[in-house]
Amino acid sequence: MAAIPVSYAGLIALTLLGGPQAVDGERTGSLRGVEPPPVCTGVDQTLPLNTQYAACAWAALSAENYREVLNVTSQCLDMFELQAVRDQEALTRDEVVTLPPSVKPDSATKASILARGVLNDVAACAFIRGQAQEKLGQSAEAIVAYQTVRRFPDARIWDARTERFWSPAVAAGDRIERLRS
């Protein structure tokens, strides 16, 4: 399998923070104490569910399985978009300094960004959804997906190749401009 530019937010947050927690204190990925079925094969099932969705979406996009991308990203957005909105609102309310669109962080900054697992993974899934919709010739739907991403200006995606974070909101804005021109 090719390298997948997954945000890895949930993976690292899981390691750094001792396990992700949802707002209500339940482990992310559990639904009222019932573990959901695997999101897709080949992804570590011990990862938070939001991270599994992002990893599966990247894998499906890489495999050019655009229908699977739409399926996985719909599930991720259905389950986690509200939490991502809350997380973004909290960052805005608390006046957390927004990082530049592309940044090679120090370890403390990296840990801080990766702790935003749900926010990062939801933005990644919405961005990946837009990419798939473009490939399927669904320009109007792609614009809607990219507009969703733009709601999360503090989300970042880790690129292991460049060892930098990038902003899916900025990239989504670029894609919207191209699609409208």
Q: Which residue has the tokens 């990946």?
A: 128
Q: What is the pLDDT of residue 39?
A: 67
The neighbour count for residue 124, using CB atoms within 10 Å, is 31
**Going by C-beta distance under 8 Å and a sequence separation of 6 or more, which residues neighbour residue 18?**
none
Q: What is the pLDDT of residues 77-100, one digit of tens each?
A: 999 999 999 999 999 898 776 666
| DSSP category for residue 3 | -
Tell me how far the alpha carbon of residue 90 is from its chain's centroid.
17
Q: What is the pLDDT of residues 34-67, one digit of tens each?
A: 445 556 888 888 899 999 999 999 999 999 999 9
Query: Cα separation of 24 and 82, whole Å?
Result: 13
Tell me how far the alpha carbon of residue 70 is from its chain's centroid.
14
Query: Cα separation of 153 and 163, whole Å?
Result: 20
Q: What is the pLDDT of residue 101?
A: 62
Q: What is the mean pLDDT of residues 97-121?
A: 83
Q: What is the pLDDT of residue 98?
A: 67
Q: What is the pLDDT of residue 60?
A: 95
pLDDT at 178 over 70: yes
Q: What is the mean pLDDT of residues 13-24?
A: 35
Q: Specify the higher pLDDT residue, 121 or 33.
A: 121
Q: What is the mean pLDDT of residues 5-21?
A: 38
Contact 66, 136 (CB under 8 A): yes
Predicted TM-score (pTM) of the model is 0.78
**Neighbour order of strands in the sheet with 157-159:** 102-103, 164-166, 157-159
Q: What is the pLDDT of residues 117-171, one digit of tens each?
A: 999 999 999 999 999 999 999 999 999 999 999 999 999 999 989 989 999 999 9
**Cα dihedral angle (129, 131, 137, 139), rounded to 10 degrees?**
80
